[in-house]
DNA sequence: TGAAATATACCCAGTATTGGGTATGTACGT
DNA sequence: ACGTACATACCCAATACTGGGTATATTTCA
């Protein structure tokens, strides 16, 4: 019997998964949570075999929750279930310890396939995810946040619409210091062109 | 027999809805589409009683599709089914002619309730939508987009990171024309300062 | 210890964006 | 017909942002 917990804030999708699994003799749902914290509580109490994990959830996101499960409940395996197909999302979930990654654009039946594969000790990745994202070596090079603490703070302020001189005033530094940080971020992130740093700040999907 | 078509780009959710409805004697699903255009084709061929309509979809969004259905297929009733609970989304779908509005955060069973209510000529709105949004008078005052068609097109391109000169090339106008449009939008939207128009473009949730 | 990264601050330069305007032509509604 | 909105296009100006660098001091890590 494979025990499954589901973390997903769209209740309509949770209900659909429940309908899918209710007639499966080898799978039982032992809990459902609409946010990351509630999910961790469920894992504490029940240590399910599998967690189906959304990424963007209230209170605690899926990457953070996955890291905690990997650290404290290593027998529980996480399958990411997300609308995000971007490289950043995939690599972060894999590095956090997820054994699978499914896209919500795919048929619901894939959830069944993934649960059974991962419960057998295999990994299971949606066929729409580029295979090179799943290479261990690729992951290693992107494992750490490449931005420094100051850079990340400035990025948040940029995302809030603060100008460079406003940020300088907030941080008690010269304008040129903030501009230098900006240049460093642009270089590190491989961006180019006006507004790209602001776009990046606004499009960052995970505020980790 | 109530005939239902579903427009939703997350296949996993479509599958869940299908599971929900497959044992209902009075409801049959006659088609499913992952984008607005495919949905309109289905409505053309089959004129279902009910369309379950996502808002944010590829190729044609739910508001546009709803307007077309309301105009050409008045016997087909649209129920919005969306993650968006914001005022703008709700009022636009209602004004486009939707007879119901469901949130994806709600239990899937509400879909059943909504289909049956709307098929009987009633309206059905998710209990988590503020009731004042559903008042006809409120809607009238927020009914129009303050941006012109050209302005909205340019806003989309801005949100994609295109520079003013790139947008000018795309639209076959002078750079100064695009700049004028930008100034008009900034004035209409009450923005000020560098990057604010790009921020607005990126934070807009509906690219209508 | 030495190298690399970070933080701070500066120099020069180009240009995209915003802010203030001008104007003409077209479309639409009263 | 007239007023308004929209579309097109231009003028002038300021500056924030990016792109290319320079340098010193501090911290971290192997």
Looking at the fold, whether B63 and B108 belong to one and the same domain comes out as yes
Nearest to B52, CA basis, from B26, B21, B91, B25? B21
State whether residue B13 sits within 8 Å of chain A by CB: yes
Q: Average pLDDT of A190-194?
A: 84
State whether residue A107 sits within 8 Å of chain B by CB: yes
Looking at the fold, whether B7 and B85 belong to one and the same domain comes out as yes
Chosen domain end from B92, B120, B141? B141
Looking at the fold, whether B162 and B199 belong to one and the same domain comes out as yes
Looking at the fold, whether B134 and B169 belong to one and the same domain comes out as no
Contact A62, A104 (CB under 8 A): no
Structure tokens, A20: 């899918």
Looking at the fold, whether B50 and B129 belong to one and the same domain comes out as yes
Residue B99 CA from chain centroid, whole number: 13
Question: Which nucleotide across the nucleic acid strands is nearest to A176, CA versus C1'?
Answer: C9
Contact A186, A194 (CB under 8 A): no
Looking at the fold, whether B13 and B92 belong to one and the same domain comes out as yes
Residue A85, domain CATH: 3.40.50.2300
Residue B71 CA from chain centroid, whole number: 16
**B110-125 residue pLDDT tens:** 999 999 999 999 999 9
Confidence bin at A146 (pLDDT 50/70/90): confident
**Residue in B closest to A158 by C-alpha:** B195
Classify residue A28: in a domain, yes or no.
yes
Contact B55, B89 (CB under 8 A): yes
Looking at the fold, whether A119 and A48 belong to one and the same domain comes out as yes
State whether residue B199 sits within 8 Å of chain A by CB: yes
User: Of A129-138, B61-70, B172-181, which range is least confident?
Assistant: A129-138
> Which residues are within 7 Å of strand D by their Cβ atom?
A 163-165, 179-180, 182-183, 186, 191-198; B 148-151, 171, 173-177, 179-181, 184, 194-195
Between helix A175-189 and helix A149-159 the angle, nearest 10°, is: 100
User: What is the distance between the alpha carbons of residues A164 and A82, in angstroms, rounded to a whole number?
Assistant: 35
State whether residue A207 sits within 8 Å of chain B by CB: no
In chain A, what residues touch B102 (CB-CB under 8 Å)? 12
> Which residues are within 7 Å of strand C by their Cβ atom?
A 148-151, 171, 173-177, 179-181, 184, 194-195; B 163-165, 179-180, 182-183, 186, 191-198
Residue A181, domain CATH: 1.10.10.10
Q: Do A16 and B11 touch (CB under 8 A)?
A: no
Looking at the fold, whether A29 and A105 belong to one and the same domain comes out as yes
Looking at the fold, whether A110 and A173 belong to one and the same domain comes out as no
Classify residue A208: in a domain, yes or no.
no
CA distances from B102 to A52, A107, A207 (A): 24, 22, 29
**A80-114 residue pLDDT tens:** 998 776 667 787 788 888 999 998 888 899 999 99
Looking at the fold, whether A171 and A120 belong to one and the same domain comes out as no
Considering only CA atoms, name the residue closest to the C1' of nucleotide C7.
A177
Chosen domain end from B90, B114, B141? B141
Confidence bin at A139 (pLDDT 50/70/90): very low
Chosen domain end from B119, B141, B163? B141
Classify residue B159: in a domain, yes or no.
yes
Looking at the fold, whether B67 and B167 belong to one and the same domain comes out as no
**B36-84 residue pLDDT tens:** 889 999 999 999 999 999 988 877 888 889 988 998 999 999 999 987 7
Classify residue A153: in a domain, yes or no.
yes
DSSP 3-state assignment of A50?
strand
pLDDT greater at residue A91 or residue A22: A22
pLDDT, position B143 = 39
Classify residue B208: in a domain, yes or no.
no
Contact residues for A14 (Cβ-Cβ < 8 A; gap 6+): A6, A8, A32, A34
Q: Number of structural domains, chain B?
A: 2
Residue A79, domain extent: 2-141
Looking at the fold, whether A51 and A20 belong to one and the same domain comes out as yes
Classify residue A76: in a domain, yes or no.
yes
ipTM above 0.90, yes or no: no
């Amino acid at each position: 019997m494979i025990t499954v917990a589901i973390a997903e804030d769209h209740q309509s999708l949770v209900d659909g998964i429940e309908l899918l699994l209710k007639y499966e003799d080898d799978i039982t749902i032992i809990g459902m949570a609409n946010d990351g914290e509630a999910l961790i509580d469920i894992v504490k109490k029940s240590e399910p075999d599998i967690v189906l994990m959304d990424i963007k959830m209230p209170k605690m996101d899926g990457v953070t929750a996955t890291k905690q499960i990997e650290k404290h409940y290593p027998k529980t395996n996480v399958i990411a279930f997300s609308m995000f197909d971007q490289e950043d999302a995939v690599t972060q979930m894999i590095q956090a310890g997820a054994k699978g990654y499914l896209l919500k654009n795919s048929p619901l039946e894939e959830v069944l396939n993934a649960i059974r594969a991962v419960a057998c000790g295999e990994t299971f990745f949606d066929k729409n995810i580029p295979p090179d994202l799943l290479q261990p070596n690729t992951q290693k090079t992107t494992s750490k946040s490449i931005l420094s603490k100051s850079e990340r703070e400035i990025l948040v302020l940029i995302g809030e619409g603060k100008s460079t001189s406003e940020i300088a005033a907030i941080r008690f530094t010269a304008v040129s210091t903030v501009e230098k940080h900006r240049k460093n971020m642009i270089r590190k992130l491989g961006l180019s062109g006006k507004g790209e740093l602001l776009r990046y700040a606004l499009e960052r999907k995970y505020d980790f």
